[in-house]
Amino acid sequence: MSKQPLRPDLALIAEWIKPGARVLDLGCGDGLLLDVLQRERAVRGYGVEIDDQALLACVRRGVNVIQANIEKGLSMFGQGRFDVVVLSMAIQATHQTEQVLAEMSSVGAQGIVSFPNFGHWYHAVSILQGRMPVSREMPYQWYDTPNLHLSTPADFEQLLAKLGLVVLQRAFLANGKAVNWLAPLRATQAIYRFARA
């Protein structure tokens, strides 16, 4: 239905998902990723969303969506029933970050997480100038941000290791374009695909 382009991190996530996969998209927003995956990759899945307006947007697209708070647990979704569990640009706003990651890995065979890279050089410069960074991926002032748990790629990989999860694939984007050289400093977004060791 919709012809609107996918956000770059979502486009990359979509490429990582095999046709026909069973997908659970946590914090699915308006359901665009699932909509595209359903139409272009014959993916079957459900979105999970807490926000009323986003839920309505999903229903209007014909995307299956479950209204729930992902931080209250994912037991409703059973164990190992999904090929992929996606959490895009939302992990930094979770309270129970470690628990959410652990549950993702038990609900699905693989997890895909994208998040804003707090280690971007601009953030360091901003802090050296005495100010909290405000950027495209993190457009909030320090006093009104929903972000609680910001991290760098190295931080994130450390948490995956602590949870017994291994990185299957990683990608870094700067303003929507892939970066390789000095990625931890230059990337504005990081995307990881992981599974239980």
Partner 1 sequence: MQVKAERMFFSEPLALAAGGSFADYELVFETYGKLNAARSNAILICHALNASHHVAGLNEAGEPGWWDNMVGPGKPIDTQRFFVVGVNNLGSCFGSTGPMSINPATAKAWGPDFPVLTVEDWVHAQARLADRLGIACFAAVMGGSLGGMQALAWSLLYPKRLAHCICIASTAKLSAQNIAFNEVARRAIITDPEFHGGRFYDAAVVPRRGLQVARMIGHITYLSDDVMAERFGRLLRDRDPDEAYRYTFDIEFEIESYLRYQGEKFAGYFDANTYLIITRALDYFDPARAFAGDLSKTMAQASCRFFVASFTTDWRFSPARSREIVQALLACDLEVTYAEIDAPHGHDAFLLDNPQYHQLVRAYADQIAINLGLSA
Please identify which residue in 5, 20, 39, 60 interacts with partner 1, judged by CB under 8 A. 60
Rounded to whole angstroms, how far apart are CA atoms 137 and 98? Answer: 22
| Residue 161 binds partner 1, judged by CB under 8 A | no
Residue choice 14, 34, 65, 85 for contact with partner 1 (CB under 8 A):
65
CA dihedral in degrees (39, 42, 45, 47; nearest 10)?
-20
Query: Of these, 64, 99, 126, 147, which contacts partner 1 (CB under 8 A)?
Result: 64
Q: Which stretch binds partner 1 (CB under 8 A): 70-78, 115-123, 154-162, 173-181?
A: 70-78
109 counts as binding partner 1 under rule CB under 8 A: no
Q: Which of 67, 62, 34, 71 is nearest to 52 (CA)?
A: 67
DSSP state of 182: T
- Say how far apart CA 101 and CA 133 lie, in whole Å: 26
Length of the chain: 197
Pairwise CA distance, residues 96 & 67, whole Å? 18
User: Quick check: 68 binds partner 1 (CB under 8 A)?
Assistant: yes
Query: Which two structure tokens, joined as six digits, stand for 122?
Result: 């601009």
Near partner 1 by CB under 8 A, which window of 10-18, 60-68, 132-140, 175-183?
60-68
Q: Report the nearest approach of partner 1 to the CB of residue 33 (Å).
A: 16
Minimum CB separation of residue 75 from partner 1 in Å reads 8
Of residues 1 and 128, the one with the C-beta less far from partner 1: 1
Tell me which residue has tokens 């993190």. Answer: 138
Binding flag, residue 62, partner 1 (CB under 8 A): yes
127 CB neighbour count, 10 Å cutoff? 11
Q: Which residues bind partner 1 (CB under 8 A)?
A: 22, 44, 46, 52, 55-56, 58-60, 62, 64-68, 76-78, 81
